[in-house]
């Protein structure tokens, strides 16, 4: 009798002398596939070669599993017979990854067992049934969640801000401290979401960067949604017999991409999701990549393995997400799978523009006008000369330049002996020499 070929969920060992190697395979299957089976008394080619089993063999095997595989698993051990030869089947299922054998972690790759590297181990931890955002303590403990509570009230829910409420939403660690999940949704925090705008089609020239945040994550997320909804202008094509309107981009796709980026970002990394805008597209970037065990095919079909389970629960309660898994299929239906890229622990969704957005075109034309007139150094010098009490912030507002650009120009003019600064810090004044 032949059992076939070994694969990611099935392994063969000729005898019990290979017990440890067999249990390593079982551990690797649990991590990579959620379970599998190991057969003892079966050769590599699937042929049953038989194994000698005494009255206590199965009990010893069960004890060995309990001793070596952590966390504990429920295994099924059967003594079988075929063609007059005995063989043993050991099966197990589990989702509490990562599992270890004798303190080491393994994964199953094309029917082979490989020791998991640290990066992969961290990914397994973030994809396990445990929620790391709820296990880690917030960097500060003086937190208020009144904004999140008010948002729930606006959705018809009435939280009482009791200990049960905090536990249900993952706002407390096991030790009773505020969790990192609570920190993300607190009224005051240090979390920022960024929108970066570039002047061309690559990252060589940054035009502006705006940070949203330092409050309950849902609110800066909404601000960015509102901003992109407002700049999604429509181009009208009247060259044919029928008037055709083309929005700059598909806003529902952007909305799904951005909410998913905020909900499923690897917040334990300390990196926040971001939107980057170019002349021909926008990119929604989040960190962490695909969850462990989630294939790209399943991802595109809408299967969800939430990395941040309690944070997603908060998104659902506030009306920003649901369990239907339609977000990624919405984007795929509009733009195809090619707009998704996975590299260097990032997940990037690229949404193309049907035409250059009006707000980008206006910015580009303004820059062109500036280049035709006095240069920025002359503008800053003349404004400080004509407005004796003007601050650099005043100059930025009058000139249309960014404050950081004005500060840089003022520093250069000062070094060239054209400007003089009196006083100290921001309270000082500037004068043209």
Query: 11: exposed, middle or buried (C-beta count within 10 Å: 0-12, 13-18, 19+)?
Result: buried
Residue 401 and residue 293 in one domain: no
Residue 335 and residue 264 in one domain: yes
Is residue 312 one of the residues assigned to a domain? yes
Query: To the nearest whole percent, how much of the chain has pLDDT over 70?
Result: 94
Residue 295 and residue 400 in one domain: no
- pLDDT of 126 reads 63
Rounded-to-integer distance, Cα 31 and Cα 123, Å: 11
- pLDDT of 94 reads 83
Is residue 125 one of the residues assigned to a domain? no
Is residue 4 one of the residues assigned to a domain? no
| Domain with 79 in it | 10-116
Here the CATH number for the domain that contains residue 48 is 3.30.950.30
Residue 228 and residue 322 in one domain: yes
Q: Which domain-ending residue is among 333, 360, 387?
A: 360
pLDDT digits (tens, 9 = 90+) for 275-316: 999 999 999 999 988 877 777 888 888 877 777 888 999 999
Q: At what angle do helices 403-415 and 376-386 cross, to 10 degrees?
A: 80
Residue 169 and residue 87 in one domain: no
Is residue 75 one of the residues assigned to a domain? yes
Residue 103 and residue 136 in one domain: no
Residue 227 and residue 316 in one domain: yes
Whether pLDDT at 332 is above 80: yes
- pLDDT of 298 reads 83
Q: Which domain-ending residue is among 81, 116, 151?
A: 116
Residue 142 and residue 84 in one domain: no
Token pair 């070929």: residue: 5
Is residue 20 one of the residues assigned to a domain? yes
Is residue 226 one of the residues assigned to a domain? yes
Using a cut of 0.75, tell me whether the model's pTM lies above it. no
Query: 17: exposed, middle or buried (C-beta count within 10 Å: 0-12, 13-18, 19+)?
Result: exposed
Residue 241 and residue 302 in one domain: yes
Query: How large is the C-alpha radius of gyration of the chain?
Result: 30
For residue 283, list its beta bridge partners: 276, 350
Mean pLDDT of 240-267: 90
Query: 23: exposed, middle or buried (C-beta count within 10 Å: 0-12, 13-18, 19+)?
Result: buried
Cα dihedral 279, 219, 342, 180 in deg (nearest 10) = 150
Residue 238 and residue 296 in one domain: yes
Contact 234, 245 (CB under 8 A): yes
Whether pLDDT at 388 is above 90: no
> Is the sign of the CA dihedral 167, 170, 171, 175 positive or negative?
positive
Q: Which domain-ending residue is among 360, 386, 402?
A: 360
Mean pLDDT of 335-341: 96
- pLDDT of 211 reads 94
Residue 288 and residue 391 in one domain: no
Contact 403, 395 (CB under 8 A): no
Whether pLDDT at 127 is above 70: no
Number of folded domains that form the chain: 3
Here the CATH number for the domain that contains residue 302 is 3.30.565.60
pLDDT digits (tens, 9 = 90+) for 67-101: 999 988 889 999 999 989 999 999 998 877 888 99
Contact 339, 351 (CB under 8 A): yes
Q: Which of 23, 31, 26 is nearest to 10 (CA)?
A: 26
Split at pLDDT 50, 70, 90, the class of 238 is low
pLDDT digits (tens, 9 = 90+) for 220-231: 999 999 999 999
Token pair 């462990």: residue: 292
Is residue 141 one of the residues assigned to a domain? yes
Whether pLDDT at 326 is above 90: no
Here the CATH number for the domain that contains residue 391 is 1.10.10.10
Residue 220 and residue 164 in one domain: yes
- pLDDT of 235 reads 85
* First-last CA distance in the chain: 98
């Amino acid at each position: 009798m032949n059992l076939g070929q070994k694969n990611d969920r099935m392994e063969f060992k000729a005898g019990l002398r290979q017990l440890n190697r067999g249990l390593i395979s079982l551990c690797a299957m649990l991590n990579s596939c959620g379970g599998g089976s190991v057969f003892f008394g079966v050769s590599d080619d699937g042929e049953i070669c038989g194994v000698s089993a005494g009255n206590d063999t199965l009990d010893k095997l069960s004890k060995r599993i309990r001793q070596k595989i952590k966390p504990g698993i429920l295994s099924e051990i059967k003594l079988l017979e075929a063609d007059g030869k005995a063989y043993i089947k050991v099966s197990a299922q589990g989702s509490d990854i990562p599992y270890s054998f004798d303190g080491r972690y393994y994964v199953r790759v094309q029917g082979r067992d490989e020791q998991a590297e640290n990066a992969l181990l961290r990914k397994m931890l973030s994809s396990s049934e445990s929620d790391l955002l709820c296990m880690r303590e917030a960097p500060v403990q003086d937190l208020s969640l009144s904004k999140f509570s008010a948002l729930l009230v606006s959705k018809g829910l009435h939280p009482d801000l009791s200990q049960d409420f905090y536990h249900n939403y993952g706002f407390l660690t096991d030790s009773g401290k505020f969790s990192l999940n609570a920190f993300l949704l607190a009224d005051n925090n240090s979390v920022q979401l960024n929108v970066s705008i570039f002047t061309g089609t690559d990252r060589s020239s940054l035009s502006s960067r705006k940070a949203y945040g330092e409050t309950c994550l849902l609110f800066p997320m909404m601000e960015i949604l509102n901003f992109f909804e407002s700049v999604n202008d429509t181009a009208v094509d009247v060259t044919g017999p029928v008037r055709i309107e083309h929005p700059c981009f598909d806003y529902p796709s952007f909305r799904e991409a951005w909410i998913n980026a905020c909900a499923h970002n690897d917040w334990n990394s300390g990196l926040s999701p971001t939107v980057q805008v170019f002349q021909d597209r926008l990119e929604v970037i989040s960190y962490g990549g695909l969850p462990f065990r989630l294939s790209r095919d399943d991802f595109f079909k809408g299967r969800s393995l939430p990395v941040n389970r309690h944070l997603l629960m908060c998104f659902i309660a506030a009306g920003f997400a649901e369990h239907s898994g339609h977000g990624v299929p919405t984007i795929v239906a509009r733009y195809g799978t090619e707009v998704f890229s996975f590299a260097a622990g990032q997940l990037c969704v690229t949404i193309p523009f049907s035409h250059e957005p009006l707000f980008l075109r206006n910015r580009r034309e303004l820059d062109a006008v500036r280049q035709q007139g006095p240069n920025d150094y002359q503008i800053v010098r003349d404004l400080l000369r004509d407005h004796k009490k003007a601050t650099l912030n005043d100059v930025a507002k009058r000139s249309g330049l960014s404050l950081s650009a004005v500060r840089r120009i003022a520093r250069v003019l000062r070094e060239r002996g054209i400007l003089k600064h009196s006083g100290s810090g921001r309270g000082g004044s500037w004068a043209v020499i």
